[in-house]
Amino acid sequence: MIVLCAIAGAVAFFFLKRPIQSKTNQISEKQKTAQEFVNVKDIHDNFLYTRDGQIIAYIKIHPISIDLFSDSEKEQISKVLTAELS
């Protein structure tokens, strides 16, 4: 009876251990580096070159701290932005 329980335990241990190893293999196969995941080939000046042949131009926008403006300047900026967005 003890031998039968030991064999059953060994078989159960073998089958329970096996899926864990396959899961770790699947995770490592699915992991990619950032270079493989992103479609960026090169970045030069203001142009981004993709692996599929597209060229994307971008601009850098610096934020403006509105707290540093006077009340009249804040109102003027608000009116300009409202006019441009409507």
Same domain, 3 and 43: no
Same domain, 38 and 8: no
Instruction: Decide if pLDDT at 28 tops 80.
Output: no
Same domain, 25 and 44: no
**9-15-21 Cα angle (round to 5):** 130
Structural contact between residues 10 and 2, judged by C-beta atoms closer than 8 angstroms: no
Same domain, 40 and 64: yes
Structural contact between residues 66 and 77, judged by C-beta atoms closer than 8 angstroms: yes
Mean of the per-residue pLDDT values for the chain?
79
pLDDT tens string 44-83: 888 999 999 999 998 888 888 888 999 999 999 899 989 9
Instruction: Decide if pLDDT at 22 tops 70.
Output: no
56 secondary structure, DSSP code: E
Domain interval for residue 18? 1-31
